Amino acid sequence: MASAPQIIARPSPNFGPRRDGLKPEFIVVHYTAMDTAEAALDRLCDPAPEVSAHYLICDKGRIFQLVAEDMRAWHAGAGSWQGKRDINSRSIGIELDNRGTHPFSEPQMSALEALLPAIMTRWAIAPTGVIGHSDMAPGRKFDPGPRFDWQRLALQGLATWPRVIDPTPHSP
C-alpha cells in the first residue's frame, strides 16, 4: 500500500462554499497548459483571473493543495456530467503541470496515483467519477488530452477505461 503523499499548502483566494449542500462526487483532471508549475501556481493563486483547483501536481511529483476539499474551487467552468451541472460544487479539481504537448511524467503520475485513493475514499467517489475536463465540457476543453494515461489509472481501479466489445456475431 502506498504511503500518503506529502502535500504542500499554497492557499488560493479563488474559492467559495459549495452550493446547495452539494458534496464532491467527481474528480476532474486538468492540465495547466502553462510553461511551468510556478506560473500555474501564480495564476491559480491570483485573485484577478478567478480560477483555482484543489490540487496542482508538478512535473516532478510535488503536490500543492490550493483549496480545501470541502470548499468549491473554481476549476471546471461551464459544463455538465451525467446530466448534472455546477460541476465545481460537485467535484475536486486536480491540475497537472503539463502543456498538453508531451506525456505526463512518471513522478507526476505516481503522485496522482497516491493522491486519488485518499480523495476517492473520503468522498466515496467511484472510479467512474474520475473524469477529464474535456468529458464535462466537450468542445470547450480538451484537457487532460490524448497524452494522459487513463488506462494506467483504470488498471489500478482509479478510473475507468472502455472495454472493447467484439462486434462480430458468434454462433451458438
Q: Known catalytic residue: 25?
A: no
Cα atoms in the 13 Å half-sphere on the side-chain side of 141: 21
Distance CA 121, CA 143 (A): 24
Residue 73's nearest CA partner among 60, 59, 85, 90 is: 90
Q: What is the pLDDT along the chain (172 residues), one digit of tens a residue?
A: 456 789 999 999 999 999 999 999 999 999 999 999 999 999 999 999 999 999 999 999 999 999 999 999 999 999 999 999 999 999 999 999 999 999 999 999 999 999 999 999 999 999 999 999 999 999 999 999 999 999 999 999 999 987 655 555 555 5
Sequence ranges of the domains in the chain: 7-155
CB 11 within 8 A of CB 45: yes
3-class DSSP assignment, residue 153:
helix
Residue type, 4: A
Residue 9 and residue 98: Cα distance in Å, rounded?
20
C-alpha cell at 24: 464532491
CA dist., res. 29 & res. 19, Å (int): 21
Helix or strand run (H / E) with residue 135: helix 133-136
Cis? peptide before 144, omega within 30° of 0: yes
- Residues 6 or more apart whose CB falls under 8 angstroms from that of 142 comprise 100, 133, 134
In this structure, CATH architecture of domain 7-155:
3-Layer(aba) Sandwich (3.40)
Catalytic one of 25, 95, 106, 113 = 95
Share in percent of the chain as helix, strand, coil (round to 5): 25, 20, 55
Give the type of residue at 72. Answer: R
